[in-house]
Amino acid sequence: MSQALNAASAAFALGATVFFIIGCAGYTLNEDQLKNVAWITSDESNTKIYIGLRELRFESSGMNGNLVWDSDSCTQQFCDRCDEDGRSAIALLVISTVFAAIATGLSGALAATHNVGMQVGNLVLSLLSAIFAIIGFGVFMGTCYQKIDQWTDFELEWGPGSIMTLLALIMMFVVTVMQFVAVIVGGSA
């Protein structure tokens, strides 16, 4: 049974790794990339807003612009908060991504052969990946989102970057549960 759990864990951890990478791509200043992986979006009254971990971009009636959190031109009340939150989120998500990638490899190896030390290590890495991801997600989508929501009258929505990150952290919690069960059942067939 632990081999089946580890095979499923490998698939979930691989999916989480890919989704974490998509979430990390939200730390960009590239306009096209930000449109595809924005963490927060809005599309109202011919105005589109794309918010990533480093900047806010807008398009309105032929006018385009951006606010980079750490630039001198970003003087709104949310700039400093979003800069700090974006840096914290990307750091935590990079760590989560690395741990998820390692968990993918360990789960794959454990699907072929049983090793108690590797199994416990994989459980710990999976749990840490999920914890770091939920903290990073919560930091940015909690404080920065609220500050921007107070600043604008537009209805803000979660973008693809935040949704993919949320899915990835849920997947890593599922991997953690599967790894916990795999530790309990041991090397039984």
| Any domain includes 56 | no
Confidence band of 178 (pLDDT split at 50, 70, 90): very high
Count of structural domains within the chain: 1
The mean pLDDT of 41-70, rounded to a whole number, is 91
DSSP 55: E
When pLDDT is cut at 50, 70 and 90, the band that residue 74 belongs to is confident
Model confidence at 122, in pLDDT bands (50, 70, 90)? very high
The CATH number of whichever domain residue 174 belongs to comes to 1.20.120
Q: What is the largest CA-CA distance in the chain?
A: 64
- Which pTM was predicted? 0.91
23 in a structural domain: yes
Neighbours of 119 (CB within 10 A): 24
pLDDT of residue 188: 59
Sheet bearing 157-158, strands edge to edge: 63-68, 55-60, 47-51, 40-44, 157-158
What single DSSP character describes residue 154?
A: S
Return d(Cα 86, Cα 81) in angstroms, integer: 8
* Structural domain boundaries, residue 16: 2-27+76-185
